Amino acid sequence: MTAMPRDVRSRFVVVDGIRTHYLEAGDGFPVALLHSGEYGASAELSWEHNIGALAGHFRVVAPDWLGFGQAERFNLDAVEFLTRCLKDRDRASPRAGLPRTSTQDRSV
């Protein structure tokens, strides 16, 4: 793994008593990077090669999904997990200074 650029900040936000981690860098129009869900995935591993370049043009926020990276871990079934992740994303975004967004995610 390569080191993150120095201007990438590691931050935490507590939503409904749950500690969530995200990376933040750059200024400008906000762009959220959502990492994949395979074992061991995290914002840092997924975006370490992209976040620095994107931060030169945008305000980049890359959260760890609940249970991944440095976010709190839970024992939930798949439906509970997805429901909780989406709720967490919607509540954490304003606290990270991001506007409410509509997203369409896709697993390849």
CA distances from 12 to 1, 21, 87 (A): 22, 4, 16
Residue 106 in any domain: the answer is: no
Distance CA 55, CA 62 (A): 11
The predicted-structure confidence for 39-74, as pLDDT tens digits, reads as follows 888 989 888 888 999 999 988 888 888 888 888 887
Q: What's the total number of domains in the chain?
A: 1
Residue 90 in any domain: the answer is: yes
Residue 105 in any domain: the answer is: no
Q: Would you state the pLDDT for residue 79?
A: 73
Q: Give the total residue count for the chain.
A: 108
Structural domain harbouring 15: 9-95
Give CA torsion, residues 32, 30, 57, 33, to 10 deg: 0
Is 76 exposed, middle or buried (CB count within 10 Å of its CB: 0-12, 13-18, 19+)?
A: middle
The predicted-structure confidence for 65-104, as pLDDT tens digits, reads as follows 888 888 888 777 777 767 766 776 666 666 666 665 544 3
Indicate whether 7 pLDDT > 70. Answer: yes
Q: Would you state the pLDDT for residue 36?
A: 77
CATH number at residue 46: 3.40.50.1820
Residue 72 in any domain: the answer is: yes
Distance CA 66, CA 20 (A): 7
